[in-house]
C-alpha cells in the first residue's frame, strides 16, 4: 500500500464511531485531516488535525474552510431508524435521506475543487449490509443507503479519472450509532451468531477498508460497493 504521509483528507463525521477509526489510521499514517462534526473532538487540534464544528444537515460546508488540495473525502454520518412499514413516516424518510444523501452530496460539492486539485483523489461513502440483503424493519435505511450506492456509481462515472468514488457497506459494527443493538452481552452474542464469521464488526474492520480505498493501493478501483460484513450479505452460514 502506498504511503499516506503528507496527503490531506476531509472526514465528515470523524469524531466518534467508524469515522474516528478512520481519522486514527490517517493520522498514524502521517496524513493531514480536517474533521467535521456537531460535537467536540476528543483530541487536540494540531498542524496535522483541524476540527470544524458543523451540523451538515443545517449548514453547508464552505470550501473556504478546506485546504486547497484534498486527496480524499470520507462521509460518515448515517442513521439506523428501524421499524415496520405502518409506522414509517414521511418525516423519518426525509430526515434519513437528508442526512445520508443530501448532505453527503453538498459536502462533496464544497470539497470538489480541492479534490480536483489533487489529480488523484478518492471519495468514500457508507452504505449498509441491509441494501444487498433484504432485512425486515429496514425500509428507510435500506432505501436511503441504496440511493447512496446509485450515487456512488453515477459520480464515479462523472468524476473519473481524477476523482474515484467508492462505497463501503458495513454489517453491524460496534459504534455509538449501533449501541442500542449491542447493549448487553446477550445481545452481542445473539448478533454475532447471525453472522457467518460469528462476530459483529469492530471499528477497525471498517476503517482498514477505508484506509485502503483512500490510498494508492486502490487507484484502479472506482464505482465499487464493498461489503465488510462478516459474510452477512453473501454467505449462508
Which residue of 50, 173, 222, 233 would you call a contact of ligand NAP, by CB under 6 A? 173
Which residue of 27, 49, 56, 155 would you call a contact of ligand NAP, by CB under 6 A? 56
Site for ligand NAP, residues 202 to 231, rule: CB under 6 A: none
**Grid-cell match 460496534, residue found:** 174
36 binds ligand NAP (CB under 6 A): yes
Given a contact cutoff of 8 angstroms between Cβ atoms, the answer to whether 109 and 47 are in contact is no
**Which CB, 5 or 42, lies closer to ligand NAP?**
42
Q: Where are the alpha helices (DSSP H) in the chain?
A: 17-28, 90-97, 103-118, 129-132, 139-159, 185-194, 203-214
- As given in the structure block, the three cell numbers for residue 206 are 471498517
172 binds ligand NAP (CB under 6 A): yes
138 binds ligand NAP (CB under 6 A): no
- As given in the structure block, the three cell numbers for residue 164 are 474515484
- The distance in angstroms from the start CA to the end CA of the chain is 32
User: What is the rounded CA–CA span in Å between residue 220 and residue 201?
Assistant: 27
**Which CB, 55 or 62, lies closer to ligand NAP?**
55
CA-based Rg of the chain, rounded to a whole angstrom?
17
**Which CB, 170 or 230, lies closer to ligand NAP?**
170
Site for ligand NAP, residues 65 to 94, rule: CB under 6 A: 76-78
How many residues bind to ligand NAP according to rule CB under 6 A?
28
Instruction: List, in sequence order, every residue forming a beta bridge with 33; answer none if it has no partner.
Output: 9, 49
Which residue of 176, 196, 217, 237 would you call a contact of ligand NAP, by CB under 6 A? 176
Interface contacts to ligand NAP, rule CB under 6 A: 13-19, 36-39, 54-57, 76-78, 99, 126, 128, 170, 172-173, 175-178
Amino acid at each position: 500500500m502506498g504511503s499516506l504521509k503528507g496527503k490531506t483528507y476531509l472526514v465528515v463525521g470523524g469524531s466518534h464511531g467508524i469515522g474516528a477509526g478512520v481519522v486514527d489510521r490517517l493520522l498514524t499514517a502521517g496524513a493531514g485531516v480536517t474533521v467535521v462534526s456537531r460535537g467536540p473532538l476528543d483530541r487536540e487540534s494540531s498542524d496535522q488535525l483541524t476540527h470544524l464544528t458543523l451540523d451538515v444537515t443545517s449548514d453547508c460546508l464552505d470550501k473556504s474552510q478546506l485546504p486547497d488540495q484534498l486527496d480524499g473525502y470520507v462521509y460518515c454520518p448515517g442513521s439506523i431508524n428501524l421499524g415496520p412499514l405502518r409506522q414509517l413516516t414521511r418525516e423519518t424518510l426525509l430526515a434519513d435521506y437528508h442526512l445520508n444523501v443530501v448532505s453527503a452530496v453538498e459536502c462533496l460539492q464544497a470539497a470538489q475543487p480541492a479534490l480536483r486539485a489533487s489529480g488523484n483523489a478518492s471519495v468514500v461513502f457508507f452504505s449498509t449490509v441491509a441494501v444487498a440483503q433484504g432485512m425486515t424493519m429496514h425500509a428507510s435505511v435500506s432505501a436511503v443507503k441504496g440511493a447512496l450506492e446509485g450515487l456512488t456509481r453515477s459520480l464515479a462515472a462523472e468524476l473519473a479519472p481524477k476523482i474515484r468514488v467508492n462505497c463501503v457497506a458495513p454489517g453491524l459494527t460496534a459504534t455509538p450509532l449501533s449501541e442500542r443493538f449491542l447493549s448487553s452481552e446477550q445481545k452481542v452474542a445473539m448478533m454475532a451468531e447471525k453472522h457467518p464469521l460469528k462476530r459483529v464488526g469492530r471499528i477497525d474492520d471498517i476503517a482498514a477498508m477505508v484506509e485502503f480505498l483512500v490510498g494508492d493501493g486502490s487507484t484502479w478501483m472506482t464505482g465499487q460497493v464493498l461489503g465488510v460484513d462478516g459474510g452477512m450479505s453473501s454467505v449462508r452460514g
